[in-house]
Amino acid sequence: MISSDSQPGRRMFSGSEISELCDAIKDVHRLLTSVGAFFSELEDAEAPGGNGLQIDFKKWGLRTITEDLLERQYRAVDRIVAFYKEEQERMSAKGRG
């Protein structure tokens, strides 16, 4: 919330920060959608009588890459959320003082 003594028209986030947060969330969604589709393809490709080692290796690689990419996106989102919380606390303290 913006306190009543803040500058008129002043916004908590600039357009680039909102855009960055939205992009990070969209990236997470796209990544999970793509991984889900690819994982389904791998499941369908596994031969019923085969040993599945190649498929298991691909799944392991996919999981490893996905975890890394998700971790990067979560860090971006967490950084923006932390900034938002700091701004809220600062503005709340300013309103009390």
pLDDT (0 to 100) of residue 97:
65
Query: Has residue 7 got a pLDDT over 50?
Result: no
Domain total in the chain: 1
3 within some domain: no
Lowest mean pLDDT among 5-9, 12-16, 36-40, 93-97: 5-9
What confidence score (pLDDT) does residue 57 get? Answer: 79
Q: Which domain holds residue 54?
A: 15-96
Q: Is the per-residue pLDDT at 37 higher than 70?
A: yes
Asked whether residue 1 carries a pLDDT value surpassing 60, the answer given is no
Does residue 72 lie within any of the structural domains?
yes
DSSP tag of 83:
H
Whether residue 81 is contained in a domain is answered as: yes
Q: Name the DSSP letter for residue 8.
A: T
Site of tokens 């920060």 = 17
Which tokens in the block code for residue 96? 């009390």
